[in-house]
Each structure stands twice: as structure tokens, then as C-alpha cells.
Amino acid sequence: MSCPNIQPMKAFVVEGSRASVEERAVPRPGPGEALVRVLIAGICNTDLEIMKGYMGFAGIVGHEFVGVCEEAPAGYEALAKKRVVGEINLACRDCETCAGGGARGRNHCPRRSVLGILGKDGSYAEWLTLPAANLHVVPDGVSTENAAFAEPLAAAFRVVEQGIVGESDRVAVVGDGKLGLLIAEVLGRRAPATALFGRHPDKMALVSAPVEKALAADALPTRAATFDVVVDATGSPSGLDLSRQLCRPLGTLVLKSTCAAGADFNTAPFVIDELRILGSRCGPFKPALDLLAAGLDLTPLISATFTLDRAAEAVARASQKGTMKVHIRASPDDAPLAEVDGDAPEL
């Protein structure tokens, strides 16, 4: 497999506390890997934490993307020249965990690398490589901007994949950040009695699924212990505590975001109420792409789009309070790059 004669490429590189756009050689695909020309990379809160030192990562950051598969390995020729999105975990496919298949093999290979997070250069670049088995073709009717939400939307579908939400369950999603809104979109279509608790009515209004939208500050005491399943997507100790209080005894509390609770974290209420605590990470791409193809439009969540050479500005904007999704345009598809340069109005 030969790489395009396009060298060097632009990439946003993180090394310690320093991050900047640099020139790098176009990556060469390894065995079974495809070469992808990145169209759009999405900025995730995990990326922002990595730039603060999380995971000790050094290299090209970013794991959300939509691109064009410019070269595909044998057996995956159907991917060539198609728009694709990709699963971020690169499993060894040779260990006992991988042999188990399913979500265990997808998410928990002990030898895995993770795109833009652990041992694998990521998506804030003009080109990336990824195992062809990780790639999924974007349906023709889904815009590139909307397809860029495939990875976080798949993470929202992980809650469904884990089999803990029934149609008759009373479900609460706590947190109106980007991930919380996507989880509400997914669960609100599965369980009619779903409520979204947040602090920003304008953000909650972006959810198109038929969910109840309520202020978190007004949730207690009237809604205490009334939900069968509660999903915490706040990333804060106070949000986790609210989620715990909303969950009925013997109910299920899903941890969809991480938070540092501190040494004084009190486990007693979780034990007394016999809550089932469940972590939830990366999810299946097929239902996410199917929902986008069915008409779910997530582009109203985009606060701004920047070109790759302005990636530092994009990161700064994504770090601002109140900002929703920020995209980095790495290369054009059917629109001139100049048309997506700069800011969109903040939502």
C-alpha cells in the first residue's frame, strides 16, 4: 500500500503542556489499517483533559472524526473513497479478552491503544490511520457535519447495549452537556418516561426526543428515589450525588462521565439503598449511524467550526464555559474550506 504523495501534513500535536499545529509526515498504514483523509474532527472534553496531562499522552490528539477512506487494505476494498467514521479502541484481536468478542473485546483489550488518547496518533490532523475493521461507512443522506457526532452518539447507545433500560422504566439523565443531551436523545426514544435534568433550559431545548426537561435545582425533594435508572453525565461530585438521590432503592445508577470525588467520598447511601452501579464507555456505531440516517440532526449543537491551522483557537473556544460542540475542519469534502473557517454563533 502506498501513501499519497502529500507530505508533510498539518497536525495539532500535544507534548506535555505544549500544544501547537506542526508539520508531520503522512502516516503509513500498518497491516490491516486504512488511510483516512480527515474531513472534520470533533473536540471532546476528554481531549481538553489530555491537554492538561491526563493519560500522559504525547502526539496528535483527537478521537472524534469523519473522513474519507483513501486507501483500504485487502478485504476492505468497499471502504475505498467512502466517507467513514471509526471506533477508537485498537484491540490486539489476539488475547483472551478479544476472543470473548462483543463489547468486552471492543472496549477492554488489555493491550489496546486508543485513537488520540493512548499510544495512537489521533484526528486533529489532515490524515490518520486506523484498522479497517474499526471503520463504518457514513450513509449518503447524513451530512459530514452531522456524521462527526457518530462516536459520542455511539457512546450514548452503549447504555442501551448494556441492556439496563426497558420501555417501561422511569429514566433520568442528569447533566445537559454534550454527552447528556445525546444520551437523552437515545433513551428518550426507548423509554417514554425519560426526564432530563440540567441547569440550562436553552441547552435542554436542543433535545428533539420526547423527554421531560427539568431544572436540576428543582429535582429534590419531590423527585427523590423515583427513577428506576439514572444516568449521571455531569462529571461532577455534586451531579453524582443528585443522581444517587434520584435513583430508587435497588435501582441502577449509570456512570457515564468521570469525576474526582475526593478522599471523603461517602459510599454509605449507595450500600444502604443497594444501588447497582454500572460504568459505561464506548458504544456501537451501527445504531448511531442508523439514527442519524433516520433524520436526527445534531448540528444545532455546533457552537463553532475552525480550520486546522486555527486548532489552538478551536481548543480555547471549546474550553469556554457554555460552549457546546466545536469542530475542526481538516480538509474539505464538497464545500470550499473557506466557507467553514471561523466561528459560528454560540448556542
Residue-wise pLDDT for 246-268, tens only, equals 999 999 999 998 765 565 778 89
d(CA 212, CA 77): 45
Q: What are residue 314's phi and psi, to 5 degrees?
A: -60, -45
> In the predicted model, what is the mean pLDDT of residues 109-116?
95
CA distances from 331 to 2, 74, 99, 116, 334 (A): 20, 26, 37, 18, 10
Joined together, the cell numbers standing for residue 241 give 450525588
Q: C-alpha angle with apex 175: 171 to 180, nearest 5 degrees?
A: 75
d(CA 283, CA 158): 4
> In the predicted model, what is the mean pLDDT of residues 4-12?
79
* Residue that is written with C-alpha cell 509526515 in the block: 25
Contact 197, 241 (CB under 8 A): no
Which band of pLDDT confidence, cut at 50, 70 and 90, is reported for residue 6?
A: low
The pLDDT tens digits for 176-223 are 999 999 999 999 999 999 999 999 999 999 999 999 999 999 999 999
Burial of 343 (0-12, 13-18, 19+ CB in 10 A): middle
Contact 119, 68 (CB under 8 A): no
Joined together, the cell numbers standing for residue 66 give 469523519
> In the predicted model, what is the mean pLDDT of residues 128-157?
97
Is it the case that residue 334 has pLDDT exceeding 70?
no
Q: What percent of the chain has pLDDT over 70?
A: 93
Using DSSP's 3-state secondary structure scheme, residue 99 falls into: helix
Q: What is the CA radius of gyration of the chain?
A: 20
Using DSSP's 3-state secondary structure scheme, residue 122 falls into: coil
- Higher pLDDT, residue 116 or 259: 116
Q: DSSP assignment, residue 340?
A: G
Joined together, the cell numbers standing for residue 162 give 448494556
Contact 325, 151 (CB under 8 A): no
> In the predicted model, what is the mean pLDDT of residues 295-315?
97
What pLDDT, on the 0 to 100 scale, is given for residue 14?
Answer: 92
> In the predicted model, what is the mean pLDDT of residues 3-27?
86
- Higher pLDDT, residue 322 or 84: 84
Residue 240, C-beta contacts closer than 8 angstroms, at least 6 positions apart: 232, 234, 255, 259, 261
HSE, CB side, 13 Å, CA atoms: give it for residue 275.
27
Which band of pLDDT confidence, cut at 50, 70 and 90, is reported for residue 26?
A: very high
* C-beta neighbour count of 199 within 10 angstroms: 14
The pLDDT tens digits for 279-292 are 999 999 999 999 99
Rounded to 10 degrees, what is the CA torsion of 202, 258, 289, 60?
A: 110
Residue 289, C-beta contacts closer than 8 angstroms, at least 6 positions apart: 85, 136, 138, 139, 142, 147, 150
Quickly list DSSP for 62-74: --EEEEEEEE--T
Report the chain's terminal Cα–Cα distance, integer Å: 44
Residue 118, C-beta contacts closer than 8 angstroms, at least 6 positions apart: 55, 57, 112
In this structure, which amino acid lies at residue 76? Answer: Y
What pLDDT, on the 0 to 100 scale, is given for residue 261?
Answer: 59
* C-beta neighbour count of 46 within 10 angstroms: 20
Peptide bond before 8: cis, by omega within 30 degrees of 0? yes
Burial of 218 (0-12, 13-18, 19+ CB in 10 A): exposed
CA nearest 60: which of 45, 50, 71? 50
> In the predicted model, what is the mean pLDDT of residues 116-130?
96
- Residue-averaged pLDDT of the chain: 92
Using DSSP's 3-state secondary structure scheme, residue 112 falls into: coil
